[in-house]
Amino acid sequence: MSQLHHRIFHVHGRVQGVFFRQSTQQEARRLGLSGYARNNSDGTVTIEAEGIPEALDALEAWCRHGPPLARVEKVEPSSGPVQGYDGFEVRR
């Protein structure tokens, strides 16, 4: 079994008001990831996710287009220490 990894994605573009966080939650749960998605005051969305590297790569690829109404301009990935999230939630 692969070790858990932690990634942070800052997503830029038209990503608020288009069900981006809720769609991210569905995709993350489908991939078996834990963490959260939240809107930021600058119009971006931050996603913190934990899981196996292959699932995190798949989430990053999904974030590059997002749900149908989104217009993603840029995804900035970074890594961080594992937090031990339980489930995947949408935060305000």
To the nearest whole percent, how much of the chain has pLDDT over 90?
Answer: 97
Beta strand 5-14 pairing with 34-39:
unpaired
Residue positions annotated with a catalytic role = 21, 39
Q: What pTM was estimated for this model as a whole?
A: 0.95
pLDDT in tens, 33-42: 999 999 999 9
DSSP of 9-33, one letter per residue?
Answer: EEEEEE-SSSSHHHHHHHHHHHHT-
To the nearest whole percent, how much of the chain has pLDDT over 70?
Answer: 98
Band (92; pLDDT cuts 50, 70, 90): confident
Please list, in sequence order, all residues whose beta carbon lies within 8 angstroms of the beta carbon of residue 46, skipping any fewer than 6 positions away: 8, 9, 10, 11, 37, 38, 40
pLDDT in tens, 19-75: 999 999 999 999 999 999 999 999 999 999 999 999 999 999 999 999 999 999 999
